[in-house]
Amino acid sequence: MAHLRLRKFNTRDVYEGGRIANDMCMVVRAGNFIFLRGQTGFTLDHKFVGKGDAAAQADQAMKNVKVLLDEAGAKMEHICKITTYITDRAYREPVYAVVGRHLKGVFPCGTGLIVNGLATPDMLVEIDIEAVIPEGEASR
């Protein structure tokens, strides 16, 4: 079965200065495996929220994660790995408080990195999620 590629968007509409008209997507489901585009303070309608506020951006990112997993037939409980990129160590505490609240009871593996930047200078945090739908639950 071909992979499911959901919430496609045209890169020319989303990336600043984008001149290539390509479809990318927010989520790919390959069998039981779910791959999400790195989530940030951008809503799923491509509006940026939480300028200068890492916690607000993390909250938006995790809200997106929940919607995207649901659309792919998965749940928060299926998250296996979360990679959290922040651009300054000062954001760690506020971001992790928000992420922890969204992940209550899930217990994923995490990796936390401080990087020099993300796709736009306004982005202070990006969250990468890998999820697997357990065998026997893959009904869709």
The residues, any chain, with a CB within 8 Å of residue 11's CB and separated by 6 or more, are 18, 20, 21, 22, 23, 24
Tokens 């869709």 correspond to what residue?
140
Q: What angle do CA 38, 124, 83 make, to 5 degrees?
A: 40
Q: How far is the CB of 35 from other proteins (least distance, A)?
A: 4
Show the site string, 105-124: x = touches other proteins by CB under 8 A, - = not.
-xxxxxxxxxxxxxx-x---
Strands 109-114 and 125-132: unpaired
Site residues (CB under 8 A) for other proteins, limited to 50-89:
77-78, 80-85, 87, 89
The footprint of other proteins (CB under 8 A) covers 1-3, 5, 8, 11, 15, 17-20, 22-28, 30-33, 35-38, 77-78, 80-85, 87, 89, 92, 96, 99-100, 103-104, 106-119, 121, 126, 128, 130, 132, 134-137
